[in-house]
Amino acid sequence: MKRPLISVIITAYNRREFIRDAVNSVINSVLPEDEYEIIVVKNFKDEYVDNIVEKTGGKSIIANLVTVGAMIALGINAAMGDIVTFLDDDMYLPNRLSIIKRIFKSAPSLIYYHNNAITINETGSIIRDELVESTNIYNSIIAYNYEDKLDILKRYGLGLGLRLSSIAVKGSFIKRWVNIIKYFPELQDVIVFLLALIDEGAIIHDPRPLTYYRVSSTSASSVRAIVNPINRFNRAVRINARHALARHMLVTLAKKSGLSKYIKYDEATIIGGIYGNWGRWLSKAVIDLLMCGSIKCIGSAMFGLTYLISPWLAKRLVYLYYTRVFNAWGLRY
């Protein structure tokens, strides 16, 4: 089989509403089918999507991973293309992949490409979104070295790093950083942009709107449905900070428990590994935690039992922990 030029990574966790739209927007591309591959990473089966992906020679990966970062990392590791680009609830315009091909071919040092977006709602109708309109950048930008990149960051802030479905990167670049990306459950777009700033290689912003960016109440990000742009951004930052701190604590606990092999997975899997590894680690953890006499310790042991009974419920509790009751545990950032 011919190696694909572009790998399109589509992720979905319990969100079936828009994944078919995302896949269809790729196969409706004007780029020939043998020049791209579709990699779908999701935690459910969808016969329509799976059949399409199989027919086009792509990969459909079923993974019960909670965080988007872990899912994206799985897709990156599976990608064969020289160029990698992303999708979740969004869609591409038909000419996006062909434009990406042409630009990367014309700029051998290019590692990061970003384009503007058109906002759509749940039904696919074009709408006006204040945040998207204010963060689209309507002039061409290119930076080849650190000085140029720093100047762009000073002038535009994170504008060139918003909306993952507007980003395409060189495969060799993103694979170098995949172990960093998987640690962040939110704001992967900003993380990828910042990594491109510190790495060697050029970055380009294309002012053409080549991505349909969907705003809905069931989007992958818990912040998309917040109307006020400032509140939306602030909440995204808070959630990401909480995730990062919590994951750091979980990784530390995994190392101390002799379960370092679980560090490469998402947060809930780390917890499950610590408390559910053939039962013996759970019993040890319960004894150790009860001896410390802390409500937090007892709660952690109870969570471990929950994981053994229902991993899905445990992972939902992880999400609730991050977004609702984080401060109740006395954690600050």
Q: What is the pLDDT along the chain (333 residues), one digit of tens a residue?
A: 577 899 999 998 777 788 899 999 999 999 999 999 999 998 888 888 888 888 888 898 988 776 788 889 999 999 999 999 999 889 999 999 999 999 999 999 999 999 999 999 888 899 888 778 888 999 999 999 989 998 988 898 888 988 999 999 999 999 999 988 887 766 788 889 988 998 999 999 999 999 999 887 555 444 444 455 555 555 555 555 555 555 555 566 556 656 565 555 555 555 555 554 444 554 555 555 555 555 555 555 566 556 556 666 666 666 565 555 444 444 433
Tell me: do 75 and 146 sit in the same domain: yes
Tell me: do 126 and 274 sit in the same domain: no
**Inter-residue contact 290 to 298 (CB < 8 Å):** yes
Assigned domain for 141 exists:
yes
* Model pTM score: 0.69
Tell me: do 171 and 285 sit in the same domain: no
Total domains in the fold of the chain = 2
Assigned domain for 333 exists:
no
Identify the three-state secondary structure at position 183. Answer: coil
Assigned domain for 224 exists:
no
**Inter-residue contact 203 to 112 (CB < 8 Å):** yes
Tokens of 271: 């917890």
What pLDDT is recorded for position 14? 73
Tokens of 186: 């939110």
Tokens of 323: 């977004």
Cα–Cα distance measured from residue 28 to residue 285, given in angstroms and rounded to the nearest whole number: 52
Neighbouring C-alpha atoms within 13 Å toward the C-beta of 227: 2
Please count the other Cβ atoms lying within 10 Å of the Cβ belonging to residue 317: 17
What pLDDT is recorded for position 162? 87
Tell me: do 38 and 106 sit in the same domain: yes
Tell me: do 140 and 286 sit in the same domain: no
Please count the other Cβ atoms lying within 10 Å of the Cβ belonging to residue 22: 24
Tell me: do 148 and 292 sit in the same domain: no
Q: Which of 180, 214, 248 is the last residue of a domain?
A: 214
Residues near 161 by Cβ (< 8 Å), separated by ≥ 6?
114, 167, 189, 190, 192, 193, 194
Assigned domain for 129 exists:
yes
Tell me: do 56 and 142 sit in the same domain: yes
Tell me: do 163 and 270 sit in the same domain: no
Assigned domain for 205 exists:
yes
CATH of the domain at 176: 3.90.550.10
Q: Which of 161, 185, 214 is the last residue of a domain?
A: 214
Assigned domain for 191 exists:
yes
Cα–Cα distance measured from residue 22 to residue 93, given in angstroms and rounded to the nearest whole number: 10
Please count the other Cβ atoms lying within 10 Å of the Cβ belonging to residue 106: 9
> What is the radius of gyration, based on Cα positions, of the chain?
21
Assigned domain for 221 exists:
no
Tell me: do 11 and 105 sit in the same domain: yes
How far from each other are the two terminal CA atoms of the chain, in whole angstroms?
A: 50
The DSSP bridge partners found for residue 8 are 38, 85
Domain residues for 17? 6-214
CA distances from 190 to 22, 84, 123 (A): 21, 16, 27
Assigned domain for 135 exists:
yes
Identify the three-state secondary structure at position 227. Answer: coil
Tell me: do 74 and 193 sit in the same domain: yes
Please count the other Cβ atoms lying within 10 Å of the Cβ belonging to residue 272: 23
Tokens of 199: 């790495």
Q: In the structure, how many helices (H) and strands (E) does the chain have?
A: 14, 9
Tell me: do 75 and 186 sit in the same domain: yes
What pLDDT is recorded for position 240? 58
Q: Which amino acid is residue 92, in one-letter code?
A: Y
